[in-house]
Amino acid sequence: MSHAALLGAVHAVGVDRVLFSIDYPFESSAEAVKFLRSAPYAPADLASIAHGNADRLLGL
């Protein structure tokens, strides 16, 4: 996981078009949460990346 890659993706397509996921069970959920909590974004943007965009896209 890389903050630089996440920043690049958001810069390229916008925060409303980025979804974050991990390859469970091969990646650690705890590490993913730690990564997102330390990302340089406002809480509302992190919520969009973490689940809000997927909720909207998938109609959840």
Mean pLDDT along residues 31-54? 95
Percent of the chain with pLDDT over 90: 95
User: What is the count of structural domains for the chain?
Assistant: 1
In which domain, by residue range, is 42 found? 3-58
Cβ–Cβ < 8 Å for 32, 2: no
Say yes or no to pLDDT of 16 above 90. Answer: yes
CA–CA distance, 15 with 52 (Å, rounded to integer) = 10
pTM summary value? 0.84
Q: Which two tokens stand for residue 22?
A: 């991990």
Say yes or no to pLDDT of 34 above 90. Answer: yes
The gap between the terminal CA atoms of the chain, to the nearest Å, is 26
Mean pLDDT along residues 43-50? 96
Residue in the structure block whose two tokens are 């974050």: 20
Question: Which one, of 49, 52, 58, lies nearest residue 19 by Cα?
Answer: 49
